[in-house]
Amino acid sequence: MKSLHCTFNPIGMAPEVSLTLPSSKSEWIRLLLLRAMSGEALAPLSGNAPTDVQVVHRALTSGLAGRIDVQDAGTAMRFLTAYAARFATSPVLLLGTERMHARPIGPLVEALRSLGADLSYEGAEGFPPLSVRPAAMREGKIRIDAGMSSQFVSALLLIAPTLPDGLHIELTSREVSAPYTEMTCRLLTTCGIDLRREESTIVVRPGTLAPPDNLSATADWSSASYIYNMVSAGAIKGKVRLDGLVLPPDSMQADSRAAELFGRLGVLTIPTERGIALCYRHERQAEDFGSANMRDCPDLVPALTVCCLLKGVPF
Contact 26, 72 (CB under 8 A): no
Contact 314, 301 (CB under 8 A): no
What sign for the dihedral angle of Cα 156, 157, 163, 169? positive
Classified as helix, coil or strand, 95 is strand
User: Among all residues, which ones are annotated catalytic?
Assistant: 299
What sign for the dihedral angle of Cα 297, 298, 299, 300? positive
CA 115/CA 168 separation, integer angstroms: 11
Rounded to the nearest angstrom, the gap between the alpha carbon of residue 152 and the centroid of all alpha carbons in its chain is 12
CA 130/CA 139 separation, integer angstroms: 22
- Give the chain's count of helices (H) and strands (E): 9, 13
Q: How would you class 83 by CB atoms within 10 Å of its CB: exposed for 0-12, middle for 13-18, buried for 19 or more?
A: buried
Q: Alpha helices of 169-220 — where are they, by DSSP H? A: 178-190
What sign for the dihedral angle of Cα 242, 248, 253, 259? positive
Contact 278, 240 (CB under 8 A): yes
Three-state secondary structure of 222-279:
HHHHHHHHHHHHCCCCCEEEEECCCCCCCCCCHHHHHHHHHHCCCEEEEECCCEEEEE
CA 19/CA 83 separation, integer angstroms: 35
